[in-house]
């Protein structure tokens, strides 16, 4: 990434949040996720929703001319030469063919499918506080597959150990399935409930 991209830094807007003071405001600021990690809806050139990415990646695509912002929010990031509004929805300039098969099996996609939620206790956690669990342990022939891997907190992972959920007294929140384009659309709609700018692109 070139120096122009490295120089991007989030700067607070001059709204009510930015002018709050005191310990309460500091605590709220500490709990807010980084602007650069906020979700951005990605549309194909045909306005079809195809993915969700982070603000940081979305800005790189816009700056490279690969995508353009269709919707923005109230925050800004600043480079050495200009201010850029943080996008909420971007659209690819050129059409990209999206295959219908499942996404690649990876830790990131397992956590995305399971919405960063432990599939045993139901607790939503940051990715750094989650691991992957083999529902049927590998020692018993369990495979590393979409149908046998779930997001799991470390507490439940230690409790389950080298056992099945039933043996450990645990119950799966939902049956693990492959991450298809249909699954991805469902997640987009769930996130879209928190951002009204997404809704007209998600067929509400």
Q: Are strands 49-54 and 130-134 parallel, antiparallel or unpaired?
A: unpaired
Query: What are the distances in angstroms from CA 75 to CA 12, 36, 43, 144, 202?
Result: 7, 10, 21, 41, 23
Asked, for residue 168, whether it belongs to a domain, the answer is: no
Q: Higher pLDDT residue, 51 or 67?
A: 67
Element (H, E) at 52: strand 49-54
**pLDDT tier, 18 (very low <50, low <70, confident <90, very high otherwise):** very low
Contact 68, 44 (CB under 8 A): no
| pTM score | 0.53
Within-domain flag for 170: no
**Distance of alpha carbon 97 from the chain centroid:** 22
Mean pLDDT of the chain: 80
Domain containing residue 112: 107-160
pLDDT classification of 8: cutoffs 50, 70, 90? very low
pLDDT, greater one: 144 or 182: 144
How many folded domains does the chain comprise? Answer: 2
Does residue 176 form part of some domain? no
Query: With bands split at pLDDT 50, 70 and 90, how would you rate the model's confidence at 101?
Result: low
Is 171 contained in some domain?
Answer: no
């Amino acid at each position: 990434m070139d120096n122009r991209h490295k120089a991007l830094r989030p700067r607070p807007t001059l709204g009510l949040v930015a002018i709050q003071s005191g310990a309460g405001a500091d605590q709220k600021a500490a709990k807010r996720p980084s602007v650069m990690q906020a979700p951005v809806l990605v549309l194909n050139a045909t306005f079809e929703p195809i993915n969700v990415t982070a603000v940081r990646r979305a800005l790189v695509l816009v700056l490279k001319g690969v995508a353009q912002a269709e919707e923005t929010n109230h925050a800004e990031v600043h480079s050495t030469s200009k201010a850029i509004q943080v996008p909420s929805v971007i659209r690819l300039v050129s059409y990209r063919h999206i295959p219908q098969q499942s996404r690649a099996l990876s830790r990131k996609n397992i956590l995305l499918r399971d919405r960063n939620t432990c599939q045993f206790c139901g607790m939503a956690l940051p990715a750094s506080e989650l691991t992957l669990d083999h529902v049927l342990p590998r020692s018993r022939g369990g495979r590393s597959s979409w149908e046998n891997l779930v997001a799991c907190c470390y507490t439940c992972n230690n409790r389950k150990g080298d056992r099945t959920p039933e043996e450990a007294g645990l119950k799966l929140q939902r049956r693990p399935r492959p991450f298809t384009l249909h699954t991805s659309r469902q997640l987009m709609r769930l996130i879209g409930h928190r951002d009204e700018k997404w809704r007209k692109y998600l067929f509400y």
